[in-house]
Structure 1
Amino acid sequence: MLSLLGGIALLLVGYWVYGRYIEKNFQIEPDRQTPAEVLRDGMDFVPMPKWKNAIIELLNIAGTGPIFGPIMGALYGPIAYVWIVLGCIFAGAVHDYMIGMISLRNDGAHLPELASKYLGRPVRHVVNIFIMLLLMLVGTVFVTSPASLIADITPDFIGMGLITLLIFAYYIISTFLPIDKAMGKVYPWFGAILILSTLAMGIALIFGDHQIPNVTLANLKNVHPEGTPIFPALFFTISCGAMSGFHATQSPMVSRTITNEREGRFTFYGMMIAEGVIAMIWAAASMSLFDGQTLAEMINNGTPSLVVNQVSVMLLGNLFGTAAIMGVIVLPISSGLSAFRSLRNILADYIHFKQDKLRNVLILTLPIFAISFILTQVDFNLLWRYFNWANQVTAVIAMFVATRYLFLKNRNYWVTFIPGALMLYACVVYIASQPIGFNLGLGWLTYSLSLLASLAILAVFILSGRKQKEALDPYSFLLNDQLPIGQLAEMKQ
């Protein structure tokens, strides 16, 4: 129990101490106008209050990641706590804050446009395609996972097919609505369900008669029942609960509704810390209620949704356990909606297809949902595997954008470079070792070749950054954030 409570305490301290340092390093400008004010369009650029922005950000980034990921990460034992706490404070929350704030300074631009500006135009095409693939996988995963959860608590005659169609119907309707109607009206209720159910789970776990494992020198080892190595698997298993590239596609959406840069630390950094707390509770619950072998069998015989169902009922009973499951269901539904909304916006920006008419929205939206519906027929575990890989590569791209931004501004860029480099190495090892990549397996050869490849990529990144900085002049829009947003947009054209 001490490790669970201590981990949550460290997350909160991280928000107040390291989060404040990250904010200071970014150098916020509270008097600067935001895209929500300057580019207000009644659809995506709409000013909203701080509390509502924070709830939308939390629900957008969470999905089933901080629940399904920690459940599967619990197979590795208490070391999962370590990655959640350190990952959230020094990687995930920094990642979310930097991309959200850089987007805020760039007219609410999405990651592909930010990559084009700070990493070079040729990168834009690769990032666009990669992120659209990621969002398609995310949206599909966040259709199948809530459908599975709902199916577990509804009569058999309803069926997964009908539930899936109803979720798609909700997504389609919400995609056409302005953000303050699609998310601003519904998400506060979703957020209340999530917060209350999470608190109930945590209280029941702490005050119940449960043996909650602690982190000790003796158990800081791999206890995975199948012997899966901790590195790099843990970095891909617990992603949304520690560091996730999907968040880089969501923070820009909220950057379009913020009215003051002071909100950034609470909205972006703080909501990632909140996600870490959720992840800690679910990891602890999974380790406390099941041994590793039982947990593995439950996951392999279905999806982690079976574990969610069992944990909720065991901790809270049938009635309140079902209510807790509803709290879990709102996460993937909200994130799935935001994933498809982001996908439509990014695709529209990429092909220069205005979304100012319902007909134009339909032209892009309906094919996206049709492809996603086909993907729902694919095995969930396979989808999750590809999602995790695409997710963490996107996180590396986002960290490189943030590092370049800080480097060009002569600020401390190590805060993003170090976690970005570590995740880059994990991604290269994963691609080299897994069947979806080169299938070399894990061994000294894979680790050595991956290290050389990672160092080569970092060398190119560092050298290109130096050349870019040398070529800048004092009036370059890459440096001059002091310009009003409207003028900045004109300079970019």
Structure 2
Amino acid sequence: MLTFLASIALLILGYMFYGRVVDRIFGIDSNNETPAYTKADGLDYMPMPWWKGWLIQLLNIAGLGPIYGALMGALYGPVAFIWIVVGCIFAGAVHDYFSGMMSLRHGGAQYPALVGRYLGKNVKIITNVVSLVLMILVAAAFTAGPAQLIAQLTPISFSAALVIIFVYFLLATVLPVNQVIGRIYPLFGAILIFMAVAIAGALLFSGKPIPNVTLENLHPGELPIWPLLMVTVSCGAISGFHCTQSPIIARTLKNERDGRKVFYGAMIGEGVIALIWAAAGMTFFGGTAGLQEAIAAGGPGGVVNEISTSLLGQLGGILAILGVIILPITTGDTALRSSRMILEELVGAKNENANLKQALLYSIPVTIPAFYLSTIDYSFLWRYVGWSNQLVAAVTLWAATVYCLRHGKFHWVCGIPALFMTGVVSTYIFYAPEGFKLSYQTSMMIGTVITLIVTAWYIQQIRRHQQKLETKVAA
């Protein structure tokens, strides 16, 4: 129990202190006029209160991610606490903050545009493809589950439920951000927070011993911690999907000083939620072996339902059902909204001409494939989402690193987690079943070599930008 409480305290302290450090490094200017005013279009660019932006951002990046991912990560044992805390403070929150604030500084630009500006056009092309595929897969994956549950609980068929959900998706994608997302997301965000807090309180008073941190790998399947844990627990530690969502809120912030509260703060909030569910998974089933049996029997959704119902009674059951239906849907709709915004930016659509017709035009190309994938067994594709998600996170951190280098800022705040995530994704793809399926030792060697090569590139970038800055100062 002590470790669990200390971990939550560390996350809060991380926001209070390290979040301020990151804010200072970025160099906010509260006198800068934000895109919400300079590019106001009545659709995506419009000012909203920071607290509403925080709740929307939390729901955008969270959904069921910090619940399901944390439960799967809990199979490794209390070592998952370490990854959630350290990853969230020094990698995930930094990633989310810089992706949001860089977007803010560049007129609400989307992630691929930022990558192109700082890492080059070739990387931008790849990033556009990876980002759109990732979000289409996310939208499809987070639709099929809720539709199946709706079909089980109501007379509505699975196909009809899918149609209803995608009609909502289109409305949330094309209507002004304050009409659907701005109105219902704060409420759903509050449900997510209440659910986590209720579980935490019930867990602390349940009398069950919450395990303390150990570096021992307790995974029943004896899967290695590195790099699998870092891909399994993405939401709650660091997730590339978040950088695709940050521009939605960057276009609504009233002042740059709200960036730390919204972007860094939402990631810390997600980390707390992930900690609670990881602790619940380890504790409720008496260890990782019991948790694995429960997941095998009913999947993560069944585990959430069993924990919620047992700890919170009828209220828990209602919360579990609401969570499994509502939370993934609110991830799917913003995934498609971001896809629509990326397509608009890709073809150069002008925001001053923004209207429902234009928004609908750019929503259809991403909605149709998402709908199709939600109707078939595409699990073989979904296996690649974890790796591509963390690849996007690594690329975002490298773009932020180059941003800092160009502006003479303390680049290590982004560079160190970028190197770490480079090691994660380069090792994972060679070892994982959906990758090259090489031996663990071989994958570790290849991952190390790739990371060293990228490190050499990083050092070269440092020297090049230092020379540029020195030349500029001398001139």
Which range, TM-score by smaller chain? over 0.9
Q: Which stretch has the larger CA shift, 198-207 or 273-282?
A: 198-207
Give distance in 1, aligned partners of 2:313 and 2:463. 59
2:297 is equivalent to residue 305 of structure 1: no
Q: Deviations over 1:235-268 (max 9, x none)?
A: 0100011000111111111111001111011101
What is the root-mean-square deviation in Å for CA atoms of aligned residues?
2.2
The corresponding residue for 1:343 is 339
SS for the counterpart of 1:22 is helix
Give distance in 1, aligned partners of 2:357 and 2:443. 50
Give distance in 2, aligned partners of 1:384 and 1:202. 30
The question of whether the paired residues in 2 share the 8 Å contact of 1:432 and 1:440 is answered with: yes
Residue 380 of structure 1 and its aligned partner are, at CA, apart by 7.2
Residue 284 of structure 1 and its aligned partner are, at CA, apart by 0.7
Residue 364 of structure 1 and its aligned partner are, at CA, apart by 3.0
1:5-404 matches, within 5 Å, as 5-148=5-148, 150=150, 154-155=153-154, 157-216=155-214, 220-290=215-285, 291-301=287-297, 303-327=299-323, 329-353=325-349, 356-379=354-377, 382-404=380-402
Q: Look up the equivalent residue of 1:450 and give its one-letter code.
A: G
Give distance in 2, aligned partners of 1:465 and 1:116. 19
Q: Deviations over 1:330-362 (max 9, x none)?
A: 332222111100001101211234673444333
Give distance in 1, aligned partners of 2:393 and 2:270. 16
Q: Deviations over 1:117-144 (max 9, x none)?
A: 1112222111111111111112122213
Give distance in 2, aligned partners of 1:299 and 1:449. 32
Q: Look up the equivalent residue of 2:417 and give its one-letter code.
A: P
Give distance in 2, aligned partners of 1:465 and 1:126. 24
Q: Look up the equivalent residue of 2:337 and give its one-letter code.
A: R
Give distance in 1, aligned partners of 2:378 and 2:263. 29
Structure 2: which 5+ runs fail to align?
none
Give distance in 2, aligned partners of 1:86 and 1:469. 30
Give the structure with the higher percent helix. Answer: 2
- Residues 145 and 235 (structure 1 numbering): CA distance in 2 closer, same or farther, change over 3 Å? farther
Residue 213 of structure 1 and its aligned partner are, at CA, apart by 1.3
Q: Look up the equivalent residue of 2:242 and give its one-letter code.
A: H
The question of whether the paired residues in 1 share the 8 Å contact of 2:55 and 2:190 is answered with: no
Q: Which stretch has the larger CA shift, 329-338 or 40-49?
A: 329-338
Q: Look up the equivalent residue of 1:431 and give its one-letter code.
A: I
Give distance in 1, aligned partners of 2:69 and 2:317. 20
The corresponding residue for 1:482 is none
Residue 64 of structure 1 and its aligned partner are, at CA, apart by 1.4
Give distance in 2, aligned partners of 1:390 and 1:82. 23
The question of whether the paired residues in 2 share the 8 Å contact of 1:175 and 1:182 is answered with: no
Q: Look up the equivalent residue of 2:334 and give its one-letter code.
A: S
SS for the counterpart of 1:212 is coil
The corresponding residue for 1:452 is 449
- Residues 77 and 406 (structure 1 numbering): CA distance in 2 closer, same or farther, change over 3 Å? same
Q: Look up the equivalent residue of 1:330 and give its one-letter code.
A: I
Q: Look up the equivalent residue of 1:223 and give its one-letter code.
A: L
The corresponding residue for 1:487 is none
Give distance in 1, aligned partners of 2:304 and 2:80. 18
**What is the number of equivalent residue pairs in this alignment?**
470
Q: Which stretch has the larger CA shift, 235-244 or 446-455?
A: 446-455
Q: Deviations over 1:67-109 (max 9, x none)?
A: 1100101111111111011111111011101111111110010
The question of whether the paired residues in 1 share the 8 Å contact of 2:14 and 2:89 is answered with: yes
Give distance in 1, aligned partners of 2:257 and 2:372. 43
Give distance in 1, aligned partners of 2:219 and 2:401. 35
SS for the counterpart of 1:179 is coil
Give distance in 2, aligned partners of 1:461 and 1:173. 43
Structure 1: which 5+ runs fail to align?
476-493
Q: Deviations over 1:400-435 (max 9, x none)?
A: 011111111222111111111111111011111123
- Residues 249 and 427 (structure 1 numbering): CA distance in 2 closer, same or farther, change over 3 Å? same
Give distance in 2, aligned partners of 1:357 and 1:171. 17
SS for the counterpart of 1:209 is coil
Give distance in 2, aligned partners of 1:334 and 1:438. 34
Residue 387 of structure 1 and its aligned partner are, at CA, apart by 1.4
The question of whether the paired residues in 2 share the 8 Å contact of 1:85 and 1:276 is answered with: yes
Q: Which stretch has the larger CA shift, 182-191 or 434-443?
A: 434-443
SS for the counterpart of 1:232 is helix
- Normalising by structure 1, we get a TM-score of 0.90
Q: Look up the equivalent residue of 2:107 and give its one-letter code.
A: D
The question of whether the paired residues in 1 share the 8 Å contact of 2:43 and 2:354 is answered with: no
Give distance in 2, aligned partners of 1:141 and 1:313. 25
- Residues 458 and 377 (structure 1 numbering): CA distance in 2 closer, same or farther, change over 3 Å? farther
SS for the counterpart of 2:345 is helix
The question of whether the paired residues in 2 share the 8 Å contact of 1:315 and 1:321 is answered with: no
- Normalising by structure 2, we get a TM-score of 0.93
Residue 175 of structure 1 and its aligned partner are, at CA, apart by 1.3
SS for the counterpart of 1:7 is helix
